[in-house]
Homo-oligomer: A and B are copies of this chain.
């Protein structure tokens, strides 16, 4: 076995710093390094419907997160100043912004959805999410939207290879195809990571595993979302970044909740690489 193959089978044993060096996507490299330097693998899912509330929670939790995940299409008072304020907070607190758009249309349409419309997502989101369901054209379509001057911006996509909702239709074959789309072909430099729930979902250590559905008290919500603990996600499921939404948003003290999640996710990571 050559060293690269050995690395592939020990992705979860490697440090974020060493994985930064293996990344093909420059934004993945930046994210790994940011996590290592800032010592946080917490992503906040800022699923709120008022821009002031999002900015407030981004300011309070910013120091403890590597990534802020938005659903910009649920924000009722969206404006360009909301975006510029959010970007200012990202710079001040040193986190990246991911728009969790879950692009899933044909190439021509996702290209427009990514760069046009009210939101102009490609202008401000460092990262976006997309489903692999449409095939390779999803990555191609997103990348095509950046042609021209925007192409110099550091951008990337996280591909969904699993979902956290109960009864979802993703099977092993689907995961394998997603893995191939993420790691083969000429557009792999645009793929920063994989959204998934398990360590065996992909092997390439240059990709970041983002795992949603993390909550200290594990449970199921009334619309089918399944939760797991920070330790279980990082140590058993291979999460590099844990996404916490309602566990922080609904806490009495959001800042303290963010610190708790940051501490537990980071401790789980240091345990994982120490073993």
Contact = CB atoms under 8 A, between A and B. Distances in A.
Quick one: which of A100, A132, A168, A221 has the most chain B CB within 10 A?
A168
A117 B73 contact: yes
Report the copy number of this chain in the oligomer: 2
A73 B105 CA distance: 12
Interface residues of A, number: 51
Nearest to A78: B118
A81 interface: no
A250 interface: no
A131 interface: yes
A163 B133 contact: yes
Contacts of A108: 47, 221, 223, 225
A107 B225 contact: yes
The dominant DSSP class at the A interface is loop
B107 A165 contact: yes
Interface string A95-118: 000001010111111011100111
A169 interface: yes
Contacts of A1: none
Contacts of A112: 47, 49, 71, 74
List 5 A-B pairs, minimum CB-CB distance, nearest first.
Answer: A107-B223, A135-B167, A137-B224, A74-B112, A135-B168
17 contacts: A47-B112, A49-B116, A72-B117, A73-B73, A74-B113, A74-B117, A100-B105, A104-B131, A106-B164, A106-B165, A133-B168, A133-B169, A134-B163, A135-B224, A137-B167, A137-B224, A141-B224
